[in-house]
Structures are given as structure tokens and as C-alpha cells.
């Protein structure tokens, strides 16, 4: 089957490469000539483990190609995916659908064969209806069906998530739509991945509800962590203790500096806007957004407290380990590290940072943070070390060396990577999340 993927960003490129790997004939399309040129040269526009090898092998086998010419690239495709960005609209938090609508118009202008048009971008409820209207108003005489197929890929684990999904959600009530989508996902269907067919609007809402629920789970355990610190309990135990209840589940109950990334912050805001438009408030999600927003700077204050408070902290240096919103990505969008660094700098603290992949993206966002090329260089001369992102290379630091290089043996672990007893035994003052 021929598949066209419009938008060769994170979602489009990973999905396109995986579909090609399933044996489909895939063309990934993007307006950005430099991105397509780079892909032709084997250079990935994003950092995602395993993606370069997957792209390379499928390009070699002739199943994956790239193009900037939408009109000719979609010819003969039975499924045309729309996987362009839906950023938060400046000023109001609504999802910006201008790219999605523009692609729909372009498809309408050049569609010649029967096809299913699939929205894979995260789009608010009702977007599929609008895409359908755009196509109906276009010149095409081909038979088409607009289907919603949200993605549930995590950055850093996207290929595995794609190939071993918990479920595939397909929003269409038409036989034609279902038939084509079954064929698209046939290899996963044979692997017994559950496929859930729903109405298009339900599928659109499932995506937002899933992300909002996960954001809520994280925020819940983060607030429990704060309470643990006050009452003398251990959030790791509390998390384990509730997570073993099958109704609650252990995943996404890891306390930390707050969620970030390109999805949870944007999607929770967009869900609030949809709820507002339909006069059906989602107050839990409203609270989650507020709590998470204030948490990032609060984490900066935690580091300041470890330095002995505002007065003592002024003029001191913090060595920051990790900048990206999570490990195995170079993505800095809404990373807690931004709030932490800014709170420190506002208090007159100098920040020296190291991140294995994120420094290039971080530089424009944190111009006053001094970036170095090695974790131990960030630690050298620091009055406190703050572990902000749990990259593997920070999980087993040589604590004796850290103590030797740092100005003072203070470790603030915002990801609970270390065992408090062990770090204290090594002579550190150790501060973590939700552990007395």
C-alpha cells in the first residue's frame, strides 16, 4: 500500500519510517526544503534513538522516500496522513490549526484517486469535520474519507511505542475508512495489538484525555511528594504502594520537577480551551496546569534553600546536570530546567550546565547559563549540584570525584535517582523530592 505522510517532523518521520518498515511504500513530505535535503543526506532533523538506522535501511530498500512536492507525492496513495504541527496559538492557548487546514486545502487541490485522509496531528475535537468540509469544498472528485488516528508516541521511545502500542485508536464510522486503516495497521493487527474503532470525535478527544490524565497523575504524585516532605513520609514508597493497585497502575507516578515537553503542556491548555468553548469546564485539568506551572520555579527555590537561603545563595554557583525535559531527547520545550535556571539566576546564582543532547536547543532559551561539555566540568567549583534530567550518565556519578571537584558537597536530586543513605554516607548533604 502506498502511504503519504504530510509533515516530516517528529510524528510524521517516526510514523513514516515505521510504516515503511512494515512493508508499505511511504513518501514523507515537508515544505521545508532544507529538512528534505538533510533527510536525503541521511541527517535526522530530531534526535530519536534508532531513527537514523530505521530511516537508512528503509530508504535503501526503496520503501521510504522524501519530497517537497505534495501534489505529485500523494498520487496513488491510499492513505494520506496529516502530521503537521499544532502549536499553542500565541496569546490564547488554543491549538493553532492553520497548518492542518492549509494541508487539507493542498490535498483537496490535487487528490485524484480514492483515499483516506488521516489526521495524526493532535487536533481538537471537530477538526476532522473541518478538514472534511475543506475537502468537500475543493475541486477533487475522488472518493475520500477523513479519519482520526491519534499518536501515543513518547519522545525517546517513539519507535518502540509505534511498533508495540498499547492500542491503536481509529476514529471513523465508515466502512471505507475502516478497511483502509485495517490494511495500514495490518502488521500490528497480526501482532495482536488492540485496535479500537470509535467515532471521529471520540478519537480526537481520546488523545487529549490520555495526555491530560497522565499529566494529572504526575501532578498528583508531585503534590503527594510535597506532603511527604512535610509529614516525614517517602514518596517512592507511597508511589509503589498505590501503584501496585491494578486500578491505579505504577506508571507515570514518578515525582519530579514537573512535566514538560512538546505535548502535555500544550495539550492540557488546548483541552481547557475546548472545555471553555463547550461550556463544560474540566476543573481538575485547570488545577493540574496551575500546579505544574508553579512547580518549576519552586524547584529552583529548593536549590536556593539547599544553598542556605536567598541571602547565602547570592553569588554562588550551581552545577546543573540535565537541561532537556526528559532523557533521550534534545527537546527543550517547556523543560523544567528553564524555570529552575531562571529562578536561580533571578536570585543572583550563577548556573553552569551540561546536557548530553540538549545544549544547542537550550542556548537561545538560557543565554546566561554557561554550558560545558562534560558533567564533571559543570560540577567543578559548584557550591551545589542540581540533577534536573535523569540521563543515564548521571545515574552513577563518581561521588568521590564530585566531592573533590565541587566547592561544597551538596546534591539536589530533582529526579530521585540516588539512594539517600548512600549519598549521605559519601559525605553529601542530599536533598531530593518527597523524601524526608
Q: Which residues bind ligand UGA (CB under 6 A)?
A: 122, 151-155, 211, 214, 218, 252-254, 256, 259-261, 263-264, 267, 325-326
Nearer to ligand UGA, 393 or 400 (CB): 393
Q: State the nearest-atom distance from the C-beta of 122 to ligand UGA, in Å.
A: 6
Nearer Cβ to ligand UGA (35/415): 415
Give the integer Cα–Cα distance in Å for 296 and 367. 18
Minimum CB distance to ligand UGA smaller for 39 or for 95? 95
Query: Is the Cβ–Cβ distance between 80 and 144 less than 8 Å?
Result: no
Output 65 or 216, the one with its CB closest to ligand UGA: 216
Pairing mode, strands 25-29 and 2-6: parallel
Distance between first and last Cα of the chain: 57
According to the 3-state scheme, what is the secondary structure of 41-108? CCCCCCCCCCHHHHHHHHHHCCCEEEECCHHHHCCCCCEEEECCCCCECCCCCCECCHHHHHHHHHHH
Minimum distance, C-beta of residue 160 to ligand UGA, in the bound complex (Å): 12
Q: CB-wise, 108 or 258, nearer to ligand UGA?
A: 258
Residues 29 and 193: their CA atoms lie apart, in Å, by: 27
Of 198, 197, 203, which is closest to residue 120 (Cα–Cα)?
203
E strand spans, 19-78 = 25-29, 64-67
Looking at the Cβ atoms of 10 and 66, the one nearer to ligand UGA is 10
CB 123 within 8 A of CB 97: yes
3-class DSSP state for residue 348?
Answer: coil
Coil, helix or strand at residue 278: coil
Residue 228 annotated in active site: no
CB of 228 to ligand UGA, least distance (A): 15
C-alpha cell at 177: 475508512
Is the distance from CB of 138 to CB of 106 less than 8 angstroms? no
The grid coordinates listed for 216 are: 494529572
Are 148 and 121 in contact by the 8 Å Cβ rule? The answer is: no
With respect to ligand UGA, which residue has the nearer C-beta, 44 or 399?
A: 44
DSSP 300-315: HHHHHHHTTSHHHHTT
Shortest distance (Å) from residue 85 CB to ligand UGA: 11
- Which of 211/274 has CB closer to ligand UGA? 211
The rounded distance, in Å, linking the Cα atoms of 202 and 230 is 41
- Nearest distance from residue 200's CB to ligand UGA, in Å? 18
Of 18, 28, 228, 263, which one is the catalytic site residue? 263
Any idea which residue has 484517486 for its cell? 113
For the bound state, the minimum distance from the C-beta of residue 155 to ligand UGA, rounded and expressed in Å, comes to 4
CB 430 within 8 A of CB 306: no
Residue of 318, 286, 285 lying closest to 300 (CA atoms):
318
Residue 124 is placed in which grid cell?
A: 481538537
Q: Mind giving me the DSSP string for 355-422? A: -SS-HHHHHHH-TTSEE-SSHHHHHTT-SEEEE-S--GGGTT--HHHHHHHSSS-EEEETT--S-HHH
DSSP 258: -
Active site residues: 263
Amino acid at each position: 500500500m502506498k502511504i503519504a505522510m504530510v509533515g516530516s517532523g517528529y510524528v510524521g518521520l517516526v510514523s513514516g519510517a515505521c510504516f515503511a518498515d512494515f512493508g508499505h511504500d511511504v513518501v514523507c513530505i515537508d515544505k521545508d526544503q532544507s529538512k528534505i535535503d538533510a533527510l536525503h543526506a541521511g541527517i535526522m532533523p530530531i534526535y530519536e534513538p534508532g531513527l537514523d538506522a530505521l530511516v537508512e535501511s528503509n530508504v535503501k530498500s526503496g520503501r521510504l522516500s522524501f519530497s517537497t512536492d505534495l501534489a505529485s507525492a500523494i498520487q496513488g496513495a491510499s492513505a494520506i496522513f496529516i502530521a503537521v504541527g499544532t502549536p499553542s496559538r500565541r496569546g490564547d492557548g488554543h491549538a493553532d490549526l492553520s497548518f492542518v487546514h492549509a494541508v487539507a486545502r493542498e490535498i483537496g487541490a490535487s487528490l485524484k484517486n480514492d483515499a483516506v485522509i488521516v489526521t495524526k496531528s493532535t487536533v481538537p475535537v471537530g477538526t476532522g469535520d473541518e478538514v472534511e468540509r475543506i475537502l468537500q469544498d475543493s475541486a477533487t472528485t475522488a472518493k475520500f474519507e477523513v479519519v482520526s488516528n491519534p499518536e501515543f508516541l513518547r519522545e525517546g521511545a517513539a519507535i518502540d511505542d509505534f511498533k508495540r502500542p498499547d492500542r491503536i485508536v481509529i476514529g471513523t464510522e465508515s466502512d471505507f475508512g475502516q478497511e483502509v486503516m485495517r490494511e495500514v495497521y495490518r502488521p500490528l493487527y497480526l501482532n495482536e495489538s488492540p485496535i479500537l474503532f470509535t467515532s471521529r470525535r471520540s478519537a480526537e478527544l481520546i488523545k487529549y484525555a490520555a495526555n491530560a490524565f497522565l499529566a494529572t497523575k504526575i501532578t498528583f504524585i508531585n503534590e503527594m511528594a510535597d506532603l511527604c516532605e512535610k509529614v516525614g513520609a517517602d514518596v517512592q514508597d507511597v508511589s509503589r504502594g498505590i501503584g501496585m493497585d491494578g486500578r491505579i497502575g505504577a506508571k507515570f507516578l514518578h515525582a519530579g520537577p514537573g512535566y514538560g515537553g512538546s505535548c502535555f503542556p500544550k495539550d492540557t491548555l488546548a483541552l481547557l480551551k475546548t472545555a471553555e468553548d463547550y461550556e463544560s469546564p474540566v476543573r481538575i485539568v485547570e488545577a493540574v496546569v496551575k500546579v505544574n506551572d508553579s512547580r518549576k520555579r519552586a524547584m529552583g527555590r529548593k536549590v536556593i534553600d539547599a544553598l542556605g537561603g536567598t541571602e547565602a545563595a547570592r553569588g554562588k554557583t550551581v552545577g546543573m546536570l540535565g537541561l532537556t525535559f526528559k532523557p533521550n531527547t534534545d527537546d527543550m520545550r517547556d523543560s523544567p530546567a528553564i524555570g529552575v535556571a531562571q529562578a536561580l539566576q533571578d536570585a543572583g546564582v550563577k548556573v553552569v550546565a551540561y546536557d548530553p543532547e540538549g545544549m544547542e536547543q537550550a542556548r537561545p532559551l538560557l543565554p546566561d547559563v554557561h554550558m560545558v561539555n562534560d558533567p564533571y566540568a559543570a560540577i567543578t567549583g559548584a557550591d551545589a549540584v542540581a540533577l534536573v534530567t535523569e540521563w543515564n550518565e548521571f545515574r552513577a556519578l563518581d561521588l568521590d570525584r564530585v566531592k573533590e571537584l565541587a566547592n561544597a558537597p551538596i546534591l539536589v536530586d530533582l529526579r530521585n535517582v540516588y539512594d539517600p543513605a548512600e549519598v549521605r554516607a559519601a559525605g553529601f548533604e542530599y536533598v531530593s523530592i518527597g523524601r524526608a
